[in-house]
Amino acid sequence: AQSVTQLDSHVSVSEGTPVLLRCNYSSSYSPSLFWYVQHPNKGLQLLLKYTSAATLVKGINGFEAEFKKSETSFHLTKPSAHMSDAAEYFCVVSPMNTGFQKLVFGTGTRLLVSP
């Protein structure tokens, strides 16, 4: 079975400071891992994905995430927050070695960015 835990429901940062959104996962199979972002009144947009090619994954808008198997973590980071980063972020896990692409979503982390 797969599950995802996003450790913070809300994270507040100031513009220009680093962002860290934490995610731990559990998976019976080698996982694919994703981070999606949802801006207000918008659909979900893929930020980045891990599919075993490299443990450090770079995504759009300066975000990156590191897959750490020993810690079962896939934390999302950005060196310097921008006001436009304010949104809700979802960590998602999916078993890589099955034909059905069932995604298991975390409960989301709302990122607040202050001037």
Partner 1 sequence: DADVTQTPRNRITKTGKRIMLECSQTKGHDRMYWYRQDPGLGLRLIYYSFDVKDINKGEISDGYSVSRQAQAKFSLSLESAIPNQTALYFCATSDAGTPSSYNEQFFGPGTRLTVL
> Could you list the residues that contact partner 1 (CB under 8 A)?
9, 32, 34, 36, 41-46, 49, 51, 90, 94, 96, 99, 101-103, 105-108
93 within 8 A of 104, measured Cβ to Cβ: yes
Q: Give the nearer residue to partner 1 in terms of CB position, either 15 or 96.
A: 96
Place of tokens 């897959």: 67
Q: Give the nearer residue to partner 1 in terms of CB position, either 39 or 69.
A: 39
What is the per-residue DSSP string for 36-87? EEE-TT--EEEEEEE-SS-SEEE-GGG-EEEEEGGGTEEEEEESS--GGG-E
Q: Give the nearer residue to partner 1 in terms of CB position, either 100 or 115.
A: 100
- Residue 25 CB, shortest distance to partner 1, in Å, is 13
Q: Give the nearer residue to partner 1 in terms of CB position, either 17 or 29.
A: 29
Collapse the DSSP code of 70 into the 3-class scheme (helix H, G, I; strand E, B; otherwise coil) and give the result.
Answer: helix
- Residue 20 CB, shortest distance to partner 1, in Å, is 20
Place of tokens 């996982």: 31
According to DSSP, the β-strands at 10-14 and 109-114 are: parallel
- Residue 107 CB, shortest distance to partner 1, in Å, is 5
- Residue 10 CB, shortest distance to partner 1, in Å, is 11
